[in-house]
């Protein structure tokens, strides 16, 4: 009898008259990965020297080079639209792919990828003389023939909207890539994602006194 009274006393201390416990689970599919290919909405190469005011946005090629004495330069700009990415997914990795079909040898340029924060440039209007400023080096790769890739830190991307990049070199030589106008081997961003965590209805446990 004494033991039962003690047990009841402890129960009154540690268990309130009504306890509600809510468990929240994660939405089905959380952690699943997906891969998306996004093609440029615009790309264009620009040339210094006598072609500095000419636009080359509709040709099938993207040139990256330093050649001649005095040196002339060719840079290539690419723009992508991330607004088509599913809102329920988080971007976890991004890689730019471009196909190099011609490269000088034995001197092959190192192709640098740099960010371009100004995304207002137009494919049919950009020239060497009006090109937007570019940022610091992200990554570089040797411009030999074949598919080239540049891994882009997610921090360099907006969550949605337009993103722009520059391909350039600081070494002599020339590499030519297919542009978005090409029938085959067009450049693209490969974007990997995971499903965002989302609260889903859980289980309710009621303990009544």
| CA proximity to 112, closest of 153, 168, 60 | 168
Both tokens of 191, joined, read: 């974007």
The predicted-structure confidence for 48-87, as pLDDT tens digits, reads as follows 999 999 999 999 999 999 999 999 999 999 999 999 888 8
Whether 23 shows a pLDDT value over 80: the answer reads: no
Both tokens of 30, joined, read: 């959380």
Both tokens of 91, joined, read: 């971007």
Do the Cβ atoms of 110 and 168 come closer than 8 Å? no
Report which of residues 154 and 177 the model is more confident about.
177
Do the Cβ atoms of 94 and 154 come closer than 8 Å? yes
CA quadruple 58, 62, 68, 69: dihedral positive or negative? positive
Both tokens of 21, joined, read: 């416990």
**Cα–Cα distance between 78 and 76 in angstroms, integer?**
7
Report which of residues 35 and 21 the model is more confident about.
35
In which band, very low, low, confident or very high, does the pLDDT at 2 lie, cut at 50, 70 and 90? low
The pLDDT of residue 136 is 97
In which band, very low, low, confident or very high, does the pLDDT at 18 lie, cut at 50, 70 and 90? very low
The predicted-structure confidence for 35-52, as pLDDT tens digits, reads as follows 999 999 999 999 999 999
What residues form DSSP beta bridges with 81?
A: 162
pTM above 0.85, yes or no: no
Give CA separation, 33 vs 23, 27, 30, 152, 195, in Å.
26, 14, 9, 18, 7
Whether 117 shows a pLDDT value over 60: the answer reads: yes
The pLDDT of residue 197 is 74
Average pLDDT, the chain: 85
The pLDDT of residue 204 is 43
The predicted-structure confidence for 123-162, as pLDDT tens digits, reads as follows 999 999 999 999 999 999 999 999 999 999 998 887 679 9
Do the Cβ atoms of 152 and 38 come closer than 8 Å? no
The pLDDT of residue 158 is 79
| CA proximity to 176, closest of 167, 164, 189, 163 | 167
Lowest-confidence region among 11-20, 89-98, 177-186: 11-20
In the numeric block, the tokens 């990415």 are attached to 85
| CA proximity to 34, closest of 89, 94, 97 | 89
Domains of the chain: 2-26+198-208 (no CATH), 33-195 (2.60.120)
């Amino acid at each position: 009898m004494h033991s039962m009274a003690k047990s009841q006393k402890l129960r009154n201390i540690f268990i309130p008259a009504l306890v509600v416990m809510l468990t929240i689970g994660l939405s089905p599919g959380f952690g699943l990965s997906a891969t998306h290919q996004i093609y440029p909405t615009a790309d264009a190469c620009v040339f210094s020297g006598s072609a500095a005011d000419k636009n080359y946005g509709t040709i099938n090629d993207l040139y990256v080079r330093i050649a001649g004495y005095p040196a002339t330069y060719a840079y290539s700009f690419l723009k992508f639209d991330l607004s088509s990415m599913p809102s329920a997914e988080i971007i976890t990795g991004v890689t730019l792919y471009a196909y190099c079909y011609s490269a000088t040898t034995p001197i092959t340029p190192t192709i640098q990828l740099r960010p371009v924060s100004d995304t207002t440039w137009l494919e049919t209007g950009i020239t060497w003389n009006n090109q937007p400023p570019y940022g610091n080096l992200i990554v570089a790769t040797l411009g030999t023939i074949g598919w080239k890739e540049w891994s882009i830190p997610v921090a360099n991307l907006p969550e949605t909207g337009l993103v722009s990049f520059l391909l350039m070199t600081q070494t002599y030589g020339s590499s030519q890539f297919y542009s978005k106008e090409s029938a085959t081997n067009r450049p693209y961003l490969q974007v990997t994602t995971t499903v965002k965590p989302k609260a889903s209805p859980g289980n309710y446990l009621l303990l009544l006194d």
